[in-house]
């Protein structure tokens, strides 16, 4: 679908919004210079949207203004107690120059679910999605033309009340920013290595594993550092109870390919302790569209090791917004180490990655209505 140019809009969903664009826009040459080597989360576009919430008066003071620092009281609740959730999805430029967000409604729904778990207010889906339309309309020129580069949208909602009683905050701030993102793994389709964390747990039953909350990422850092010490790129988290069932990586879901004439995809079922990835969901749908079998079920470490060694598991890949589809080539657990297939990138991984990118960039049909095209603001 295509949404109307957002300049005329003075509302996002049913909220009035004040639109105050920067009075000092960057010159084209300077923007191009900044966009050349963007890294990840370093080169932000020129605007942001903020919306305040108070328990007494709800959502208010929506504003689009220039990107810039926030002023926070040192007693801000989120800084102390981690009451904070975020989202991540991408805006792609198509071959025809069109610009589209990929499934922003799905991220809006997950943002609400994460907020609910953290006792934060739930932003209406229409407000979330139309705030994205407005930001992207203003920062249209920041959507890269370089293949593999995208505009990554980062919605954030945190407890902003400056009072340190441990209870759900009475005040919150929603902040919507966008940054230019290069491939998360700079080696492209080169397979990554993973280390299985037996001693670190990311999420336990009843915990916050299914929420995209700040604390989950902090909790995973020590395991990620241990993986790096073992010479591996990423960490695999297991279930907290038996330390036997594969869950996910620190920032990506995992998919296994059981090869043969009719390959089957197997991915850990959503048990409440892993993040319900939107890339995972999209790939399940695309794989079924392509006639592949997909199973969502538990996968044990014994199955992974034995079936990778026997050749029954032919490919494994990680998937997520930042990582897209990234093959896993090598696995380490304690003293054991094994490769997946020949350690390279398999045909199912390659085909699904190409298919997903083709849908995201509008070069393949979009039967599920996943692309939300956004026009630039009208100028002059
Ligand atoms: N799992 C975790 C812990 C993540 O942080 C992410 C990234 O957002 C994913 C999985 C993949 O989710 P998505 O495909 O929605 O980006
Ligand atoms: C993403 O894949 O977009 C994520 O949010 C994971 C990580 C970079 C935080």
Looking at residue 260, its pLDDT comes to 84
Spatial separation of the C-alpha atoms in residues 143 and 176, rounded to whole Å: 16
Q: Could you tell me if the CB of 282 is within 6 A of ligand 1? A: no
Q: Is the predicted pLDDT of residue 5 greater than 70, yes or no?
A: no
Q: H helices within 293-367, ranges in order?
A: 301-310, 347-360
What ligand 1 atom has the least distance to the C-alpha of 282? 14
User: Mean pLDDT, to the nearest integer, of 333-355?
Assistant: 96
Domains present along the chain, CATH in parentheses: 2-182 (3.30.470.10), 192-360 (3.20.10.10)
Task: Tell me the pLDDT band of 2, cut-offs 50, 70 and 90.
Answer: low
Q: Percentage of the chain with pLDDT > 70?
A: 97
**Quick one: pLDDT at residue 1?**
56
* CB-based burial label for 1 (10 Å; 0-12, 13-18, 19+): exposed
Residue 104 beta carbon below 6 angstroms from any ligand 1 atom: no
Residue 71 has a pLDDT of 98
Cα separation, 183 vs 187, in Å, equals 8
The answer, yes or no, to whether residue 3 has pLDDT greater than 60, is: no
Q: Which of 184, 218, 235, 248 to mutate to test ligand 2, by most ligand atoms within 8 A of the CB atom? A: 184
Q: Which atom of ligand 2 is nearest to the CA of 90?
A: 3
pLDDT tens-digit profile of 282-293? 999 999 999 999
Looking up tokens 């550092």 gives 225
> Residue range 10-21: average pLDDT?
96
- 53, exposed or middle or buried, with CB in 10 Å at 0-12, 13-18, 19+? buried
- Give the tens place of pLDDT for each residue, 112-171: 999 999 999 999 999 999 999 999 999 999 999 999 999 999 999 999 999 999 999 999
Ligand 1 pocket test, candidate residues 114, 203, 275, most atoms within 8 A of CB: 275
At 101, is the pLDDT very low, low, confident or very high (cuts 50, 70, 90)?
A: very high
State the pLDDT confidence band at 379, using cuts at 50, 70 and 90.
Answer: confident
Residue 362 pLDDT: 95
Instruction: Give the model confidence (pLDDT) of 227-240 as tens digits.
Output: 999 999 999 999 99
CA separation for the pair 356, 30 (Å, rounded): 32
Give the pLDDT confidence score for residue 169 in this predicted structure: 97
H or E segment and range at residue 8: none
Spacing, Cα 88 to ligand 2 middle (Å): 6
Convert the pLDDT of each residue in 52-78 to its tens digit: 999 999 999 999 999 999 999 999 999
Model confidence at 8: pLDDT above 50: no
114 alpha carbon to ligand 2 midpoint, in Å?
Answer: 15
pLDDT in tens, 265-314: 999 999 999 999 999 999 999 999 999 999 999 999 999 999 999 999 99
pLDDT at position 7 over 60:
no
Pairing state between β 293-296 and 264-267: parallel
Q: Give residues with Cβ within 8 angstroms of 297, minimum separation 6.
A: 266, 268, 269
């Amino acid at each position: 679908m295509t949404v109307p140019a957002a300049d005329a809009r003075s509302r996002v969903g049913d909220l009035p919004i004040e639109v105050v664009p920067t009075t000092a826009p960057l010159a084209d040459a300077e923007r191009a210079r900044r966009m050349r080597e963007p890294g990840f989360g370093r080169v932000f576009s020129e605007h942001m949207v903020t919306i305040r919430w108070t328990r007494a008066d709800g959502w208010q003071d929506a504003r689009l203004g220039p990107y810039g620092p926030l002023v926070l009281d040192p007693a801000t609740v989120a800084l102390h107690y981690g009451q904070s959730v975020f989202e991540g999805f991408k805006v792609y430029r198509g071959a025809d120059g069109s610009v589209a967000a990929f499934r922003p409604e799905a991220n809006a729904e997950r943002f609400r679910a994460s907020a609910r778990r953290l006792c934060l207010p739930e932003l209406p889906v229409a407000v979330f999605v139309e705030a994205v339309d407005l930001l992207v309309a203003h920062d249209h020129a920041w959507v890269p033309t370089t293949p593999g580069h995208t505009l990554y949208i980062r919605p954030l909602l945190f407890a902003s009340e400056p009072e340190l009683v441990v209870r759900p905050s009475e005040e919150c701030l929603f902040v919507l920013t966008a940054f230019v993102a290069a491939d998360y793994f700079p080696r492209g389709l080169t397979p990554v290595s993973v280390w299985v964390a037996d001693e670190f747990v990311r999420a336990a039953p009843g915990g916050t594993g299914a929420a995209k909350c700040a604390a989950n990422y902090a909790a995973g850092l020590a395991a990620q550092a241990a993986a790096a010490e073992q010479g591996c790129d990423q960490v695999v988290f297991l279930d907290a109870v038996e330390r036997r069932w594969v869950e996910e990586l620190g920032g990506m879901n995992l998919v296994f390919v059981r090869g043969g004439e009719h390959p089957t995809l197997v991915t850990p079922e959503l048990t409440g302790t892993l993040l319900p990835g939107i890339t995972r969901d999209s790939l399940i749908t695309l794989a079924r569209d392509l006639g592949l079998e997909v199973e969502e079920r538990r996968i044990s470490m014994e199955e992974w090791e034995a079936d990778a060694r026997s050749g029954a598991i032919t490919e494994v890949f990680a998937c997520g917004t930042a990582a897209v589809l990234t093959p896993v080539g090598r696995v380490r657990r304690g003293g054991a180490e094994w490769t997946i297939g020949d350690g390279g990138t398999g045909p199912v991984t390659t085909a699904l990655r190409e298919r997903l990118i083709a849908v995201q960039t509008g070069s393949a049909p979009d039967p599920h209505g996943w692309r939300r095209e956004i026009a630039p603001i009208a100028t002059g």
